[in-house]
């Protein structure tokens, strides 16, 4: 079965490389014609993920005929997903695998529902879990979660996309997989702030633990299963993202904790997710709400920390 990847950013490029490494014909679609031509002719990865030779069976193009494949992975940022889908009506009826993590700031929807709303006849699945693009590109062992509402679809896509170093574990808990991947980015921002403000590793551990509790409460209220949150797409992704500056969300949090401003050119999905959550639920989520307030400029770092530390203690 033929495979294409829409989006030549770091993660999309890494996935395309992983799928093509065994000789499978894979098409990587870039919206940047110049970058696509350069990658195709030089057989080297582009500016978003520099330094890698590309498998010979990987074709890079800016031509939308790439969508003639049976399976298309959507590796575009969450906040741009809806607009990209509207540009490509030819995706209707295909097997579409969303690879972004987050909640749409305008609609409050996750990637699967956003895609299904646009293409009701498509077979939609979600790929998520603890991973860095550079590790996948290097061929290092990575385990991800493939979520689809239908078990048969999850099995089929698992068979098509699993590789020796890219192991996909399936689930039918789409809300759990999506919310684990989305909400952990908010907690990573908070963990980064704790490190950047020099509160120490003990404070970071507290943020991770209490943040995971908030993630679980919110996800369970939205129909997720606890075992999903405790697996790769929840706890696994949370640990990775909160402990490495290869994570854009954690690194951005560190910068905020040091008093730096946010780089507007960098995709930091946790910011929009925090703001979307704060605007659409009245649940008690102090860490997530504090991150939303900080990123909106409604609360400074010192006051946010003081407010969280002033909360009454209770049962674990």
C-alpha span between 48 and 220 (Å, rounded): 35
Residues 6+ apart with CB under 8 A from 1: 70, 71, 160
C-alpha span between 309 and 225 (Å, rounded): 30
Beta-sheet strand order (sheet of 71-74): 58-61, 26-29, 3-6, 71-74, 95-98, 123-128, 142-147, 166-171
Q: Which three-class secondary structure state does DSSP give residue 26?
A: strand
Task: Report the 10 Å Cβ neighbour count for 167.
Answer: 14
Question: What DSSP letter does each residue of 128-191 carry, written as one string?
Answer: ESS--HHHHHTT--EEEEEE-SSHHHHHHHHHHH-BTTEEEEEES-HHHHHHHHHHHHHHHHHH
Residue 136, phi-psi category: left (phi > 0), alpha (psi -120 to 50), beta (remainder): alpha
Active site residue 246: no
Catalytic residue among 80, 101, 155, 184: 184
Residues 6+ apart with CB under 8 A from 40: 59, 60, 61
- Which residues have a catalytic role annotated? 184
């Amino acid at each position: 079965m033929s495979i294409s990847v829409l989006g030549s950013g770091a993660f999309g490029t890494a996935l395309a490389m992983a799928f093509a490494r065994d000789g499978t014909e894979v098409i990587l679609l870039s919206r940047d014609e110049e970058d696509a031509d350069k990658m195709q002719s030089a057989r080297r990865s582009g500016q978003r993920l520099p330094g890698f030779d590309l498998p010979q069976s990987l074709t890079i193009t800016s031509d939308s005929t790439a969508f003639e494949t049976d399976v298309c992975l959507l590796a575009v940022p969450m906040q741009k997903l809806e607009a990209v889908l509207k540009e490509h009506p030819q995706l209707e009826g295909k097997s579409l695998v969303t690879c972004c993590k987050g909640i749409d700031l305008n609609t409050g929807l996750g990637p699967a529902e956003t895609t299904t709303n646009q293409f009701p006849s498509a077979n939609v699945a979600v790929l998520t879990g603890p991973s860095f693009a550079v590790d996948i590109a290097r061929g290092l062992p990575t385990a991800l979660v493939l979520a689809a509402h239908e078990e048969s679809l999850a099995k089929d896509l698992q068979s098509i996309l699993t590789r020796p170093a890219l192991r996909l574990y399936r689930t039918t808990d789409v809300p759990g997989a999506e919310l684990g991947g989305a909400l952990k980015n908010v907690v990573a921002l908070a963990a980064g702030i704790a490190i950047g403000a020099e509160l120490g590793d003990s404070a970071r551990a507290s943020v991770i633990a209490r943040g995971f509790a908030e993630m679980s409460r919110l996800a369970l209220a939205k129909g997720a299963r606890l075992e999903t949150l405790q697996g790769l797409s929840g706890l696994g992704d949370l640990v990775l993202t909160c402990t490495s500056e290869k994570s854009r969300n954690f690194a951005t949090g560190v910068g905020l904790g040091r008093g730096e401003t946010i780089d507007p050119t960098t995709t930091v999905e946790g910011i929009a997710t925090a703001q979307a959550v704060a605007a659409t639920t009245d649940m008690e989520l102090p860490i997530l709400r504090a991150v939303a307030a900080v990123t909106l400029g409604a609360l400074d770092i010192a006051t946010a920390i003081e407010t969280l530390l002033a909360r009454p203690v209770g049962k674990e």
